[in-house]
Structure 1
């Protein structure tokens, strides 16, 4: 985050007022719930538009990763000419990166490769030149980027891509961008993507906005959300048909024992959980909760109703899920995570103070 971005966050932490979260979401409400001006108009000029790009990320038969970038305006034509793209027989996933993020970064490529290994056509957004400014302005331009992506998807459907074979995934700010893309696709074609996935959708500047101005449960035929830092850079509100709250959704356990994973660490952990959930089907298992507050407090262990994070998610079983993880890579806990005595924060706390006599 830029120095100006840090100053903005500090200012709003101490000066913002007037936002009251819904009772079912809970508190706090202190991290930029309201950002004046983000709903004003924004546009991308003709000279900068070529910098908005789509990256084709594919794997050769020998396992080599090959990537090629296409400017958004002509990306549909470039993909049509590419013999490695098969819209008729393969599913297509389009992953949108977040604020200060790039398709070049290792985590973006890891997610792309995980899908490529499973036979998907893989597309990744390149928005780095546009999401560098102070965060509220990046939110503002995000609506424009989302519409541009929607226009791109409409063009692909005219070339043979079926909406029922399309999956949209977005990280943080990218989750809302994909929401706008899906809304535009539906407005033009009357069809929704098969699936839209939000990885810790951004909360700052979005918490007070209506559903039409952020990712919403109606944006896809199936919409799922993973929450990892909902009171920091993420959002507590349910934005999906199935919402997973990892370890309660507030903060994630650190990889180094007893050192907490704080705001940024917890936020980006969503990408790592998702990457590993794609690599390891049915290993990230969530338990259904009665409320978001129950998920926060890990009070869901009395419910035998489960669901899986990743490609095995059961969308017929909608609702809120508490998702237990391990604190070390690859993070999944499988069925061991369904046992109350293994709840990570409680079990670690008990271990730390297990001695009856602590002597130094």
Structure 2
């Protein structure tokens, strides 16, 4: 009897041990704090692999005796997600959601580039100085994948802030032959005004698309890709605090919005249409609603599916396009865009306001006043109006 009891307890502890060991194989994103940021952190990178087989249990591809390679199928497209500067040390709040959304589309290899040890510091330029080192580590993994049958066409890099420039550095090492880079509000400080070999550039991949959401503060103002998207003109995103009374959100909300806009493009509910244009003012004046240059596909869409316009965009001379659009204040951010033309019949110039009322089928109403005090008879008064998509 005692022997049976001892055997039962032994099996229980053995099973518990197996459960603990299996849990230890799941790697989490490095979670640091303000104490680490004050002291600064040395660079230590984890490459966390997720597939549909292990969507909730990442494996570290560069850990000693890693078993994660059993999930890495080099014949599939591989998407690298690289974050930026982390002044507080906490993991990005969006990191798990972007993995889940990508894997809901297709069974990719999704690799989260966790360089939180290195990005966590109160001194921004210390983190920026480590970006090329991170890129070299990524090249080592990509070289291994290529030796096992992967192709550069299948490599897709999504970089946030400093991560956008890291992605560019990786692309330069392969002479721009990797498939695609998406830059999500590439970092501006220390990179603005630098030559192309020191930052993200459209020559770093076969297709480079960029979303700019904080060009007047933390982001990069000028064009960097084959197509550069400027939601709401690239500044002051709807729903973000306008004053410092908004706390930490005042500093990061605009910058971070690029990530949430990209994730919104992974939903089936709606797409975000954009309008190639010289500047935001011309777009708002209704001068850029014609997308005949992209016929029959139409105006480019933001985010994951932007590469459907690749052939049109890379063939341009120079191969750089700016696109503007407006968004809602919250997810899914999609809105309708209306182009309205007014032609006056009187031959004299008149001053005044034009108010437009839109009424939906369910009774919701929106009013809008055209921002133009002079309406001239010899020209059309053009304005692009936006309204929420339901």
The TM-score, its normalising length taken from structure 2, stands at 0.66
* Counterpart contact for 1:153–1:185, Cα < 8 Å: no
Equivalent in 209, 217, 232 of residue 217 of structure 2:
232
Answering whether residue 171 of structure 2 is matched by residue 182 of structure 1, we say yes
Greater strand share, structure number: 2
> d(CA) in 1 for partners of 2:211 and 2:90?
20
Corresponding position of 2:329: 327
SS at match of 2:254: helix
- Structure 2 portions without partners, runs of 5+: 1-32, 292-298, 314-320, 341-355, 358-365, 371-390
Could you tell me how far 1:292 is from its partner in structure 2? 3.9
> d(CA) in 2 for partners of 1:242 and 1:286?
11
Could you tell me how far 1:152 is from its partner in structure 2? 2.1
Measured at CA, do residues 304 and 160 of structure 1 come closer, stay the same or move farther in structure 2, by a change above 3 Å? same
Could you tell me how far 1:256 is from its partner in structure 2? 8.6
Corresponding position of 1:165: 154
Equivalent in 185, 191, 202 of residue 200 of structure 1:
185
Could you tell me how far 1:85 is from its partner in structure 2? 2.4
* Counterpart contact for 1:288–1:300, Cα < 8 Å: no
Corresponding position of 1:23: none
Could you tell me how far 1:232 is from its partner in structure 2? 0.8
The one-character-per-residue Cα deviations of 1:290-322 (angstroms, maximum 9, x if unpaired) are x24547x73455422111112321123331100
* Counterpart contact for 1:94–1:168, Cα < 8 Å: yes
* Counterpart contact for 1:157–1:163, Cα < 8 Å: yes
Answering whether residue 72 of structure 2 is matched by residue 85 of structure 1, we say yes
> d(CA) in 1 for partners of 2:305 and 2:326?
17
Measured at CA, do residues 298 and 317 of structure 1 come closer, stay the same or move farther in structure 2, by a change above 3 Å? farther
Equivalent in 284, 305, 309 of residue 302 of structure 2:
309
SS at match of 1:322: strand
Corresponding position of 2:387: none
RMSD over aligned Cα atoms: 3.5
Could you tell me how far 1:231 is from its partner in structure 2? 1.3
Equivalent in 113, 128, 131 of residue 139 of structure 1:
128
Bigger radius of gyration among the two:
2
> d(CA) in 2 for partners of 1:348 and 1:330?
22
Could you tell me how far 1:65 is from its partner in structure 2? 2.2
Could you tell me how far 1:2 is from its partner in structure 2? 7.1
Query: Aligned runs of 1:234-273 on 2, under 5 Å?
Result: 234-254=219-239, 262-273=250-261
> d(CA) in 2 for partners of 1:247 and 1:221?
27
> d(CA) in 2 for partners of 1:68 and 1:285?
37
The TM-score, its normalising length taken from structure 1, stands at 0.71
- Structure 1 portions without partners, runs of 5+: 7-43, 352-360
* Counterpart contact for 2:275–2:289, Cα < 8 Å: yes
Query: Aligned runs of 1:18-33 on 2, under 5 Å?
Result: none
Measured at CA, do residues 337 and 70 of structure 1 come closer, stay the same or move farther in structure 2, by a change above 3 Å? same
Could you tell me how far 1:112 is from its partner in structure 2? 1.4
The one-character-per-residue Cα deviations of 1:90-135 (angstroms, maximum 9, x if unpaired) are 2111110111188954301111111111221111100001012210
The one-character-per-residue Cα deviations of 1:26-74 (angstroms, maximum 9, x if unpaired) are xxxxxxxxxxxxxxxxxx9xxx66x31100123349xx622222337x7
